Amino acid sequence: MVALIPYIIAGDPDLATTAEALKVLDSCGSDIIELGLPYSDPLADGPVIQAAATCSLARGTNFDAVISMLREVLPQLSCPVSLFSYYNPILKRGIRKFMTIIKDAGVQGLVVPNVPLEETEILRMESSKNNIELVLLTTPTTSTDRMKSIVSASEGFVYLGELRWSDWYSHQCQCPSSDSATRHQIEATSKPVAVGFGISKPEHVKQVAEWGADGVIVGSAMVKLLGEAKSPEEGLKELETFTKSLKAALI
Question: Is 250 in contact with 2 (CB distance < 8 Å)?
Answer: yes
Mean pLDDT of 22-36: 97
For residue 232, give Cα distances in angstroms to 82, 178, 225: 23, 39, 10
Nearest CA to 235 out of 8, 78, 5, 4 is that of 8
**CA-CA distance, 129 to 66, in Å (whole number)?**
22
Mean pLDDT of 29-37: 97
**CA-CA distance, 227 to 51, in Å (whole number)?**
9
Distance of CA 126 to the CA centre of its chain: 21
- Mean pLDDT for the chain? 88
3-state secondary structure of 196: strand
What residues form DSSP beta bridges with 215?
3, 194
Number of residues that make up the chain: 251
**CA-CA distance, 38 to 42, in Å (whole number)?**
8
Share of the chain above pLDDT 90, in %: 64
pLDDT of residue 174: 45
More confident residue, 243 or 172: 243
Highest mean pLDDT among 22-31, 174-183, 213-222: 22-31
pLDDT tens column, 110-161: 999 888 888 899 999 999 999 999 998 887 777 888 888 888 888 878 888 7
Nearest CA to 102 out of 75, 67, 134, 131 is that of 67
Residue type, 9: I
- Catalytic residues, by residue number, are 34, 45
